Amino acid sequence: MTAVLTVDLAAFQRNLDVVRERVAPAELMLVVKDDAYAHGLEPIVTHAARHGVRWFGAFDVATGLRVRAIAGPDAGIFVWMVFGVEEARRAIDAALDLGVGDADTLEEVALAAEAAGRTARLHLKIDTGLHRNGVRPEQWPAFVERAAELAAAGVVEIIGVWSHIAEASDAEDDAARARYEAALRVVEARGQQRTLRHLAASAASFDRTGFRYDMVRVGAFCYGIRSAGGPGEDVLGVQPIATLDAPVLALGDEGVRIGIGSADGLPSVLGGRMSVGTPDGPRRMLRIDEMDCLVEPWPGAAVGQRVRIMGQGTSSPTDLAEAMGSIGEEIAVRVSPLVERRYR
Ligand SMILES: *Cc1c(COP(=O)(O)O)cnc(C)c1O
């Protein structure tokens, strides 16, 4: 009798359809970092691959290798965190596409490709203002020059040019996009005309036509997680695909004790700031302890009944995030891996 996270794969598919229709003709890259935002990598990738998703964004090499095993040889798999020659070699052997955002990594990947006897597939990353990683504009021409040299030698292939943007304000995003365009012109001036261009994540890919280019990297909206402070699920046409339920453990004077706590990933700061769905309608969450929590009583409350903590019919991850000044992704990925996942 514990908490359960149930993932609705039909809802996932509807979200995928909405996102793909919206961004077409740009291609969807489904971002599956953090165990597919804690929805479970294997079922999510399996389902998406079966329903026509051709690109996956996997963040690190370990995840990329898992996606390769699940999605098969034809999937495009993009990883953008590569550490050292050894890891680059494993990625190249599995035909992962590598996002490279600094000169040292470029050299490591080249060494790994030579050792593997295979051409590494690269997406060059320009820093358009986030300063997370990515080649600074002043170093970009030399970086592109070196990548082109390695490409001419058959060591690497330049597949794409990409960046990541804040999606916090249109003005900042516009400035980032101008830097991205300048970086593209440097690559095109070298005669590299047919690179895959990708810049936008969920919010910009939905709202801003000019940011879609050839491909968009979308995680949040595919899982039905809207942007905090942004348009609602009804406007976007997506819905949260996960519901989190937990059982009634005991009835007491203080309230009804429910079997989910901060150790399961429910932030204790949400005590007093959220409600849960009970068989008698919504009730206030009074307090969240480590192993359990306390909810305002309802008539007919009984041990073993289940209440809905998050998802369809009650708060979405982003609703909860907004109650604590965070973002929906954070709430979603905090659900402990020890909480049982079910799929339907
Ligand atoms: C997480 C991530 C995305 C997806 O962002 P969402 O807002 O969840 O769609 C895209 N690109 C990069 C580089 C990321 O790290």
15 CB near ligand 1 (under 6 Å): no
Q: Answer yes or no: is 161 within a domain.
A: yes
Of the candidates 189, 208, 229, which is a domain's last residue?
229
Q: Which of 30, 31, 63 to mutate to test the pocket of ligand 1 (most atoms within 8 A of CB)?
A: 31
Does 235 fall in a domain? no
Say how many domains are in the chain. Answer: 2
**Which atom number of ligand 1 is nearest to the Cα of residue 201?**
9
Residue 277: give its domain's CATH number: 2.40.37.10
CA of 297 to the centre of ligand 1 (A): 40
Q: What is the domain range of residue 215? A: 9-229
Both 39 and 173 in a single domain?
A: yes
- Indicate if 122 and 201 belong to the same structural domain: yes
In a domain, 1, yes or no: no
Instruction: Verify that 163 and 56 share a domain, yes or no.
Output: yes
Its pTM stands at 0.97
Say whether both 246 and 225 belong to one domain. Answer: no
Q: Which atom of ligand 1 is nearest to the CA of 59?
A: 15
Distance from Cα 201 to the centre of ligand 1, integer Å: 5
Tens place of pLDDT per residue across the chain (344 aa):
699 999 999 999 999 999 999 999 999 999 999 999 999 999 999 999 999 999 999 999 999 999 999 999 999 999 999 999 999 999 999 999 999 999 999 999 999 999 999 999 999 999 999 888 899 999 999 999 999 999 999 999 999 999 999 988 899 999 999 999 999 999 999 877 779 999 999 999 999 999 999 999 999 999 999 999 999 999 999 999 999 999 999 999 899 999 999 999 999 999 999 999 999 999 999 999 999 999 999 999 999 999 999 998 899 999 999 999 999 999 999 999 999 999 99
Please write down the HEC assignment for all residues of the chain.
Answer: CCCEEEECHHHHHHHHHHHHHHHCCCEEEEECHHHHHHCCHHHHHHHHHHCCCCEEEEEEHHHHHHHHHHHCCCCEEEEEECCHHHHHHHHHHCCCEEEECCHHHHHHHHHHHHHHCCCEEEEEEECCCCCCCCECHHHHHHHHHHHHHHHHCCCEEEEEEECCCCCCCHHHHHHHHHHHHHHHHHHHHCCCCCCEEECCCHHHHHHCHHHCCCEEEECHHHHCCCCCCCCCHHHHCCCCCEEEEEEEEEECCCCEEECCCHHHCCCHHHCCCCEEEECCEEEEEEEECCCCEEECCCCCCCCCCEEEEECCCCCCHHHHHHCCCCCHHHHHHHCCCCCEEEEC
Q: Does any domain span residue 2?
A: no
Q: Is 201 inside any structural domain?
A: yes
